[in-house]
């Protein structure tokens, strides 16, 4: 079962400690948008810089032992709208949507079943069906019985049926719905019903001729047939707002790379194989944004397009698959929380030759996994489309092979903001021995604050010594100098911020120039000379595995 309690506690900590805030909160917020507070911004920047360093400034070593060639790019969020026609987003970037006929909420069809499982009314009804008296077979969801009186009590309970699922057919017209169900059961009395199917019957009107319908995750009402909905945000460029001035906020950063592929070839002395990397914001008008910052309408991506000869593409696909998994492990993510999931044939885009996701075990997906990053073999689809639509030759002349061809592309694409969520989930560590009852176990290199510098008390010359140490460290590490409240409360704040080390100046410091070092993970304390603090941090943070 998904661990919703753990997720709620993490979200509360993120608000309390300044990692993530609801956007426009003083006006009631806006669904699908989030603001990153001081600690969240620093954490996001640390992930971003680590990715950029690994991809652009110091790329991996290739299979032949030579460093790879990867250059950086920052393309415009708004491009010529023909871009999105060529890429297929205008005609095909659609999700099937369904609307509840009762509460009028809109849902992505492929999200409905997962949202139902998490719905309070669905869980409440599941408990009604899975009574202990029905035995182990019912507990496995293989068989349930319609107990009319029990269902009638649930439907009419103001705290359950009437409050949790006011749109459910059984709640709106209890007797008629139960009578219809009784007729259905009488037709095949030997038939066994599972929980999911049984609840569909409770959501179906007596005179419905479509058969049992999938209920609304919000209110239990019946959903319309799926219809397509385009996910791109539309806007207008210029003074006149008509079709000729319509533009789109980019739904991905990749197309900006393809549009600049020829510019990079002409200016940067690169030759195949090489990569172009970009970090930037993207926008998707998600109808059902959910699970905190996992699925939002404004997010940041870290994408790299690797251009290579067609014959070598499969080799590079396997290379980048291994590289990306190793990179997430280097961030301190537990190996048991990461898996590869190859896309089935019916999941692949029509142009894609292969695709695999790096998936993470989020609290809201456990014991299952959810997407973190995709590594896709895109073939030459994108360059072919832009060459055709822009009437611009994008073929590469390979001097070694003495031939022209459109390169194939391998794309490792991950969400930066989703990476923030993964590190938050991974770091969240309950610990009843601490005043805060929890600490954030970030990899030291990625922690938003690397060191806390405290005087034990705000007198007797201790603040002056502590501030001098802080001023010495701040050009090299993100530190926090704090003199307020008891030392225990300051440690608790640093635990929740994920600060790996705290240095306290006390009375003994004034005598022998030593300070107390507190280790976040173990709460162990030791004394070192104040002149050795910077060296200590270099060994523990800069050289941390």
Q: Per-residue confidence at 491, pLDDT binned at 50, 70, 90?
A: very high
Structure tokens belonging to residue 317: 């696909």
Percentages (nearest 5) of helix, strand, coil residues in the chain: 40, 25, 35
Distances in Å between the Cα of 255 and the Cα atoms of 89, 252, 462, 477, 513 are: 10, 7, 56, 36, 57
Structure tokens belonging to residue 87: 């890429």
Domain boundaries in the chain? 4-81+252-426, 96-227, 435-542
Cα separation, 410 vs 355, whole angstroms: 9
Average pLDDT over residues 62-73: 96
492-501 pLDDT, tens digit each: 999 999 999 9
Q: What is the pLDDT of residue 62?
A: 96
The percent of residues above 70 in pLDDT, for the chain, comes to 96
43-61 pLDDT, tens digit each: 999 999 999 999 999 999 9
Residue 141 has pLDDT above 80, yes or no: no
Q: How would CATH label the architecture of 435-542?
A: 3-Layer(aba) Sandwich (3.40)
Residue 142 has pLDDT above 80, yes or no: no
Cα separation, 22 vs 193, whole angstroms: 42
Least confident of 139-143, 369-373, 477-481: 139-143
445-484 pLDDT, tens digit each: 999 999 999 999 999 999 999 999 999 999 999 999 999 9
Q: Which of 190-204, 208-222, 327-341 has the highest mean pLDDT?
A: 327-341
Q: What is the mean pLDDT of the chain?
A: 91
Q: For residue 222, how many C-alpha atoms fall within 13 Å in the half-sphere facing its CB?
A: 18
Residue 190 has pLDDT above 70, yes or no: yes
Going by DSSP bridges, is the β-strand pair 227-230/94-99 parallel, antiparallel, or unpaired? antiparallel
Q: What is the pLDDT of residue 488?
A: 94
Choices 2.40.30.10, 3.30.930.10, 3.30.565.60, 2.40.50.140: CATH for 4-81+252-426: 3.30.930.10
Least confident of 2-11, 66-75, 413-422: 2-11
**pTM of the entire predicted model:** 0.81
């Amino acid at each position: 079962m998904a661990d919703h309690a753990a997720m709620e506690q993490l979200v509360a900590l993120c608000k309390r400690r300044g990692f993530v805030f609801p956007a426009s909160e003083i006006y009631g917020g806006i669904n699908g948008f989030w603001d990153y507070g001081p600690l969240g911004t620093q954490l996001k920047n640390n992930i971003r810089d680590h990715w950029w360093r690994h991809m652009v400034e110091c790329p991996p070593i290739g299979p032949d032992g030579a460093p790879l060639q990867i250059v950086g790019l920052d393309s415009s969020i708004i491009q010529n709208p023909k871009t999105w026609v060529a890429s297929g987003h205008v005609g095909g970037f659609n999700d099937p949507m369904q609307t509840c006929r009762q509460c009028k909420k809109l849902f992505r069809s492929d999200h409905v079943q997962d949202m139902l499982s998490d719905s309070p009314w669905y869980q409440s009804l599941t408990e009604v069906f899975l009574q202990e008296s029905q035995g182990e077979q019912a507990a496995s969801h293989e068989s349930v019985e319609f107990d009319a009186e029990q269902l009638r009590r649930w439907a009419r309970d103001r705290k359950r049926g009437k409050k949790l699922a006011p749109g459910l057919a059984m709640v709106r017209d209890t007797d008629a719905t139960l009578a219809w169900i009784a007729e259905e059961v009488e037709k095949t009395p030997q038939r066994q019903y599972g929980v999911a199917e049984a609840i569909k019957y409770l959501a179906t009107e007596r005179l419905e001729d479509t058969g049992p319908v999938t209920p609304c995750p919000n209110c239990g009402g019946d959903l319309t047939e799926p219809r397509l909905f385009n996910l791109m945000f539309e806007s207008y460029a210029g003074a006149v707002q008509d079709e000729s001035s319509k533009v789109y906020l980019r739904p991905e950063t990749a197309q900006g790379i393809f549009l600049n592929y020829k510019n990079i070839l002409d200016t940067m002395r690169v030759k195949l194989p090489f990569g172009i990397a970009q970090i930037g914001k993207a926008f998707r008008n998600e109808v059902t944004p959910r699970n905190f910052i996992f699925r939002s309408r404004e997010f940041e991506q870290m994408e790299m397009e690797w251009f290579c000869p067609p014959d070598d593409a499969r080799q590079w696909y396997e290379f980048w698959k291994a590289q990306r998994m190793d990179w997430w492990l280097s961030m301190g993510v537990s190996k048991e929380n990461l898996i590869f999931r190859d896309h089935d044939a019916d999941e692949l885009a029509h142009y894609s030759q292969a695709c695999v996701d790096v998936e993470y075990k989020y609290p809201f997906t456990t014991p299952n996994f959810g997407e973190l990053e995709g590594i896709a073999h895109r073939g030459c689809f994108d360059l072919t489309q832009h060459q055709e639509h822009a009437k611009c030759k994008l073929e590469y002349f390979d001097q070694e092979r003495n031939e022209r061809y459109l390169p194939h592309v391998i794309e490792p694409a991950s969400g930066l903001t989703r990476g923030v969520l993964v590190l938050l989930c991974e770091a969240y560590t309950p610990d009843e021995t601490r005043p805060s009852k929890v600490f954030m176990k970030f990899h030291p290199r990625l922690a938003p604050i690397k060191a806390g510098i405290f005087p034990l008390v705000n007198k007797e010359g201790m603040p002056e010594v502590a501030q001098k140490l802080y001023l010495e460290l701040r050009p090299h590490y993100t530190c926090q100098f704090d003199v307020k409240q008891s030392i225990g409360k300051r440690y608790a704040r640093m635990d929740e911020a994920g600060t790996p080390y705290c240095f306290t100046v006390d009375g003994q410091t004034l005598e022998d120039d030593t300070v107390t070092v507190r280790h976040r993970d173990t709460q162990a304390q030791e004394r070192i000379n104040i002149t050795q603090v910077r060296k200590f941090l270099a060994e523990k943070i800069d050289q941390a595995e």
